[in-house]
Amino acid sequence: MSVTTALSQLANYRAHNIRASQRTFENGYRVLQKNAYQNLGDEEWTFLEQLALASIDVGRLEVADQCLQLLSEKFPDSPRVECLTGIRMEASSSPEIALKYYSELLEADSANAAIWKRKISVLRRTGKTEKTVSELCAFLDTFYTDVEGWLELGDLYAESCQYTLSLQALSHALLLAPQNPFYALQFAETAYTAGDIPLALKTFLMVVDMSDGDDSGISLAESTPLGITVRAWFGVKLCTRRLLGPSPQVQPSASGTSSPTSNNVALLDELATERLRVAYSSSAGVKGEIARGREEVFAWVA
Amino acid sequence: MSSSSAVSLYLDPQIRDWVLFPITLVMILVGVLRHYVVVLLQAIPKKQSRAAIREQRALTRCQILRATSANSPIPPSFYKTISQNLSEALKAGTYLKDGPPKADTPSTAPNPLSDPAAMDGMMAGMKTQMVMMVPQMVIMGWINFFFQGFVLIKLPFPLTLGFKSMLQRGIETPDMDVRWVSSLSWYFLNFFGLNGLYRLILGGDNSADSSRDMTVSPFASMGTAQPGQPQDFTKLYKAERDNLEFAEGLYNWVGQDIDTKVLRKYGKLLPISKQ
């Protein structure tokens, strides 16, 4: 592969934010060895940053060091290079050294979001959940719009079985990205785990409502649910089963969500069964081919 | 009468070579130079402290919450908690940079002249103004001194008399055809018209165009809310609290009747119109 194609592929990775570390490294290393990066103009530096990150990913630290060397010669005091240096440090040094480095940087510039996030991730990696949560809360209190941060916080809480708190964190993620069905699905699943069945049911239905149907013009009742919708239907089925079962199975909803009328629940149960049967009667998009796990699903929904 | 005078006037080609082209060239070069001087003068944006960012972004949180309140993705109990917490925090001033205000100190609007950060912003504005004003004044003086009353060019299309004051500034001739352009007017035409050329040479975000700066004085930005200018967050927070209350009234959870909606969508329940 020529250097030009390698470079265009790398630029494509950058534009679409694709991590593909191994391929990035292979392409980038070829460019680096031929010194072709020097005539890239301003692209040179983003290229070096990309290659440095990828080579840390694949464990070729000496290449990363070479990139870092070039970058820090060009930008001696850049916060971006400092962040990269920190990541390089995390790769080989102990977390304590990296933490100390990040804390020093944050002392100099308390509002450096990238460094702050790195620090939180190192904290989480070392297993200091309590410290991580308090740092992350402080971070999100300042940079409210960081969806990743809220998801991470929700995950941390769920890990420590604090499902109500996890739901609260996820609700912020929902507010920030109301169009993303995956966050809603995570919210629904967390609500189900927390035992708030009516809330879970309604959120699963929201996911269904958001993600079903395409523009192909087939009526919904005839279409095959795909991807995330199937998972949401599974959730609906789980919830309706709990709601239809004997009453002690369902605790009162912690969020005060009223469950649908029993007639609607019965209809939803029927609908979910039907949808799951449709989803598993043929594997995604291929007519006639039977999906894997069909027997089990049919037995479960029956 | 005007047509006969148009025929009778003959311009020395030396005027074209030594006046018309130099004026245009000098103005273009000064614009390019000015762009680079402004780039050099631009101070690195000051880093804000964590507290200052938090103060600014508190309003964004409320706006995000309000933006979806009519079709909110989050259930009522969550919405109410967030909304009320924000409202209380705004009331107590938890988000203010300097902490909650003391009860006894009277709230005064911050004085922009006493805040060093605001002064810096104003000084930067003045500096760019100076870079713009000085060369333009020099060029105008140069033209006025050497080429006063010169007729430089004849426009290739006829114009009405209304353009006379625009195109023949500096020449007091009531009868001359409007198509002739005087040196001072040529300067003004370049002054206002070169922006398109600068955009080609220097890119869209250039600071070479000086006519744009003419419309803003360095002090005009003081009244309006500009980033970097001091804002009275106590007042903004107060307004935002009203907005939050209003949004809470509008609030509706998207999942409220989602079960019937989905059932209708799949034809399990009859559509509303047929019921």
Let me know: does A218 contact A162? Beta carbons within 8 Å.
no
What residues does A192 pair with on adjacent strands?
none
Residue with tokens 């291929």: A286
For B133-192, the pLDDT digits (tens) are: 888 899 999 999 998 888 888 888 888 888 888 888 888 888 888 888 899 899 988 888
Picking from B47, B50, B262, the nearest residue to A209 by CB comes out as B262
Spatial CB neighbours of A220, under 8 Å, sequence gap ≥ 6: A212, A213, B265, B266, B267
For A159-190, the pLDDT digits (tens) are: 999 999 999 999 999 999 988 999 999 999 99
Picking from A111, A205, A268, the nearest residue to B53 by CB comes out as A111
Res A135: pLDDT: 92
Q: How many angstroms away from the CA of A119 is the closest CA of chain B? A: 16
Angle between helices B195-202 and B183-193 (to 10 degrees): 50
Residue B222: pLDDT over 70: no
Let me know: does A93 contact A103? Beta carbons within 8 Å.
no
Res A121: pLDDT: 93
The structure's pTM equals 0.74
Q: What are the structure tokens assigned to B38, written together?
A: 């402004």
Give the mutation candidate from B57, B90, B266, B270 for the A interface (greatest A CB count, under 10 A): B266
Res B235: pLDDT: 84
Let me know: does A199 contact A257? Beta carbons within 8 Å.
yes
Residue B4: pLDDT over 50: no
For A245-294, the pLDDT digits (tens) are: 776 556 777 777 777 888 888 899 989 998 888 888 766 556 556 667 77
Let me know: does B93 contact B100? Beta carbons within 8 Å.
yes
Give the mutation candidate from A109, A144, A243 for the B interface (greatest B CB count, under 10 A): A144
Angle between helices A95-108 and A113-125 (to 10 degrees): 160
Res B275: pLDDT: 43
Picking from B53, B77, B258, the nearest residue to A205 by CB comes out as B258
How far apart CA A32 and CA B124 sit, in angstroms, is 42
CB contact A159 to B (< 8 Å): no
Residue B225: pLDDT over 50: no
**Closest listed residue to residue B243, CA positions, set B99, B118, B62, B111:** B62
Q: What are the structure tokens assigned to B206, written together?
A: 């250039």
Residue B26: pLDDT over 60: yes
Do B262 and A110 lie within an 8 Å CB cutoff?
Answer: no
Q: What are the structure tokens assigned to B66, written together?
A: 């309000």
Cα distances from B98 to residues A177, A288, B55, in angstroms, run 31, 68, 9
Residue B261: pLDDT over 70: yes
In one-letter notation, the amino acid at residue A176 is L
Res B273: pLDDT: 58
Do A264 and B266 lie within an 8 Å CB cutoff?
Answer: no
Do A144 and B49 lie within an 8 Å CB cutoff?
Answer: no
Q: How many angstroms away from the CA of A136 is the closest CA of chain B? A: 14
CB contact A15 to B (< 8 Å): no
CB contact B78 to A (< 8 Å): yes
Res B210: pLDDT: 64
Chain A hits for B81, Cβ within 8 Å: 168
Rounding to the nearest 10 degrees, give the CA dihedral for residues B74, B79, B81, B87.
Answer: 140
Residue with tokens 């990775």: A13
Res A172: pLDDT: 93
Res B194: pLDDT: 87
Spatial CB neighbours of A185, under 8 Å, sequence gap ≥ 6: A203, A204, A207, A228, A231, A232, A235
**Closest listed residue to residue A269, CA positions, set A233, A228, A300:** A233
Cα distances from A109 to residues A39, A113, A156, in angstroms, run 34, 10, 27
Contacts 24+ apart (CB under 8 A), A170-173: A171/B74, A171/B75, A171/B78, A171/B82, A172/A140, A172/A144, A172/B82, A173/A147
Q: How many angstroms away from the CA of A153 is the closest CA of chain B? A: 16
> Which residues of chain A are under the pLDDT cut of 70?
1, 213-219, 221, 247-250, 282-291
Write out residues 102-121 of A within 8 Å (CB-CB) of B. Answer: 109-111
How far apart CA A269 and CA A300 sit, in angstroms, is 13
Spatial CB neighbours of A285, under 8 Å, sequence gap ≥ 6: A224, A226
Give the mutation candidate from A141, A214, A263 for the B interface (greatest B CB count, under 10 A): A141
Give the mutation candidate from A42, A105, A107, A142 for the B interface (greatest B CB count, under 10 A): A142
For B89-147, the pLDDT digits (tens) are: 888 888 887 777 665 555 555 555 566 666 777 777 788 788 888 888 999 999 999 98
Let me know: does B237 contact B58? Beta carbons within 8 Å.
yes
What residues does B180 pair with on adjacent strands?
B154
Res A163: pLDDT: 92
Let me know: does A65 contact A89? Beta carbons within 8 Å.
no
Do B74 and A202 lie within an 8 Å CB cutoff?
Answer: no
H, E, C per residue of chain A: CCHHHHHHHHHHHHHHCCCCHHHHHHHHHHHHHCCHHHHHCCHHHHHHHHHHHHHHHHCCHHHHHHHHHHHHHHCCCCHHHHHHHHHHHHHHCCHHHHHHHHHHHHHHCCCCHHHHHHHHHHHHHCCCHHHHHHHHHHHHHHCCCCHHHHHHHHHHHHHCCCHHHHHHHHHHHHHHCCCCHHHHHHHHHHHHHHCCHHHHHHHHHHHHHHHCCCCCCCCHHHCCCCCHHHHHHHHHHHHHHHHHCCHHHCCCCCCCCCCCCHHHHHHHHHHHHHHHHHHHHCCCCCCCCCCCCHHHHHHHHC
Do B57 and A144 lie within an 8 Å CB cutoff?
Answer: yes
How far apart CA A173 and CA B6 sit, in angstroms, is 73
Mean pLDDT of the region B199-209: 77
**Within a 13 Å sphere around the CA of A79, how many CA atoms are in the beta-carbon half?**
15
Interface size A-B, in CB pairs within 8 Å, comes to 102
The pLDDT-based confidence of B6 (bands split at 50, 70, 90) is: very low
> Which residue of A lies nearest to B50 if distances are taken between CA atoms?
A111
How far apart CA A76 and CA A72 sit, in angstroms, is 5
Cα distances from B153 to residues A79, B9, B190, B193, in angstroms, run 55, 11, 13, 16
Residue B215: pLDDT over 60: no
Residue B203: pLDDT over 80: no
In one-letter notation, the amino acid at residue B240 is E
Chain B hits for A109, Cβ within 8 Å: 47
How far apart CA A253 and CA A198 sit, in angstroms, is 6
